[in-house]
Amino acid sequence: VPDAALRCRYVLCEVVSEDPRCRQCIEDRAVGLAVRDAIGRVHGDFGLACCSISFTVKYLNAYTGTVLLRCRKDSYRLLCSALPFVRQLESRNQRYPCFLNTLHVGGTIRTCQKFLIEYNRRQLLMLLQSCTNEEERRCVQKSLLSCSLTEEQCLSGNEDDDDDGTDTD
């Protein structure tokens, strides 16, 4: 457990965009800049400075749009309150409107990871329920099954999954 003074908060959020091309922009520099920009707008220089201490993008996944941000525990409220004001991501002169959906605030990366597992699983279940045709249902089921097993089995399941997935594709 790190020193109390150095304790951090990890904010797990999701990039939601209408435009699928936005996913190109999901990279840590772009996300970091966008968040900083938003904090600067909302809380001013002081707020930005507070949040910038040990602020990083710890993890992101362009394909699911998941982003994990870190900042000091003292200033995470400033960060969280500024997140809704992120309106767009800009990268390589391309700019796509989007917003950040805060999913979870945790004290360690591990809790965030655990949350993410649960969250994704829930998403898949919801997807399964809302499936419209049989093929989709099959796909989702496969995906769902593939990730609920133990590690080794996971891998093998994935392989099967891959083959199946490409076939269906």
Listed ranges 47-55, 73-81, 97-105, 137-145: which one lies at the site for other proteins (CB under 8 A):
137-145
Q: Which of 44, 48, 46, 16 is nearest to 35 (CA)?
A: 48
Q: Which of 169, 12, 23 is nearest to 94 (CA)?
A: 23
Min dist CB 44 to other proteins, Å, is: 27
State which amino acid sits at residue 10.
Answer: Y
Min dist CB 76 to other proteins, Å, is: 20
Listed ranges 38-46, 79-87, 96-104, 136-144: which one lies at the site for other proteins (CB under 8 A):
136-144
Which of helix, strand or coil describes residue 105?
A: strand
Q: What is the DSSP letter of 26?
A: -
Candidates 42, 57, 80, 103: give the one binding other proteins (CB under 8 A). Answer: 57
If phi > 0 it is left, if psi is from -120 to 50 it is alpha, else beta; for residue 21 that is: alpha
Q: Does 20 bind other proteins (CB under 8 A)?
A: yes
Q: Does 80 bind other proteins (CB under 8 A)?
A: no
Distance between CA atoms of residues 99 and 69, nearest Å? 15
Provide the binding-site residues for other proteins, judged by CB under 8 A: 20-21, 24, 27-29, 56-64, 66, 92, 109-110, 113-114, 116-117, 120-121, 123-124, 127, 131, 136, 139-140, 143-144, 146-147, 151, 154, 158-159, 161-162, 165-166, 168-169
